[in-house]
Structures are given as structure tokens and as C-alpha cells.
């Protein structure tokens, strides 16, 4: 079902400062930046050969990412696995009694479709991604 690790996501308080640090200190290049209104976040992606890095900044105190940072601080938020067909993945995981945070896919960055597996299932949040057209 999972074809690859799509990305690792890191919560940050200041996206501009974090992009600067990743570019200057780690010598990675920010390849994409987007506001994802539905998630209440702004994201920036750094493409590497095998796994992309996503930095996530909350847009408001109402964002779940804001609440996450307040509770746990900045750092690793989730790992995302890629699937070819997100609807089939949801159906399969429901049959296997996975604890999903949504019953239907949501809009993610890059025109993708996403949903999350509850962090209690594996000790951390897992995102499932079907790549979009962008």
C-alpha cells in the first residue's frame, strides 16, 4: 500500500528564520512554499534525494500545529507515507481497525490529498499522502 516515505514534517514557530537556518547551516534549498488554509499552516519544502523535509508554521493560535508547539515545542511532527490511491488506503486501514483522525481525505500542499493516523497507533502522528497535480 505505501509506496515511499513522502516527507518528514517539523513544526517551527518562525518559518522565515527556519528556512534561513536550513539553507545556510544545512545547505538545503527551499524548493516550495505554500499557505494551506484548510490546515491553518504555512509550509516550506526542502527536497532531498530520498525524503523531503517539510517545515510547518501555524497561521493562528487556532491551528492544531500551534497547540502542538505550545505543548511539545518545535520539532518532528509527523512522518508521511505516499500511496497511489488514498481512498483505497482509507478503506483498507478502516477494515484493519486503524484509528484514523479523518474518514475522508483533506486537501494538503502541492494539490495533494491527505489523512492522518492517530498518534496513539504508532507513538507519533502518521500522515498518508496521495500526490497532487502540482
Residue-wise pLDDT tens digits, 32-44: 999 999 889 999 9
pLDDT-based confidence at 14, cuts 50/70/90?
very high
pLDDT-based confidence at 110, cuts 50/70/90?
confident
pLDDT at 20 over 90: yes
What residues contact 115, with CB distance under 8 A and at least 6 apart?
Answer: 86, 90, 100, 101, 102, 104, 105, 106, 127, 128
Q: Could you give the domains of the chain?
A: 2-130 (3.10.180.10)
pLDDT-based confidence at 2, cuts 50/70/90?
confident
Q: For the chain, what percent of residues have pLDDT higher than 90?
A: 87
Cα separation, 30 vs 17, in Å, equals: 12
Mean pLDDT of 119-125: 93
Amino acid at each position: 500500500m505505501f509506496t515511499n516515505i513522502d516527507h518528514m514534517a517539523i513544526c517551527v514557530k518562525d518559518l522565515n528564520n527556519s528556512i534561513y537556518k536550513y539553507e545556510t547551516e544545512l545547505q538545503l534549498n527551499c524548493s516550495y512554499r505554500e499557505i494551506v488554509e484548510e490546515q491553518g499552516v504555512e509550509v516550506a519544502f526542502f527536497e532531498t534525494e530520498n525524503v523531503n523535509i517539510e517545515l510547518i508554521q501555524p497561521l493562528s493560535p487556532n491551528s492544531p500545529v500551534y497547540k502542538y508547539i505550545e505543548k511539545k515545542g518545535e520539532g518532528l511532527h509527523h512522518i508521511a507515507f505516499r500511496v497511489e490511491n488514498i481512498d483505497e488506503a482509507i478503506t483498507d486501514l478502516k477494515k484493519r481497525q486503524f484509528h484514523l483522525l479523518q474518514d475522508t481525505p483533506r486537501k494538503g500542499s502541492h494539490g495533494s490529498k491527505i489523512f492522518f493516523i492517530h498518534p496513539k497507533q504508532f507513538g507519533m502522528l502518521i500522515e498518508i499522502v496521495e500526490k497532487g497535480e502540482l
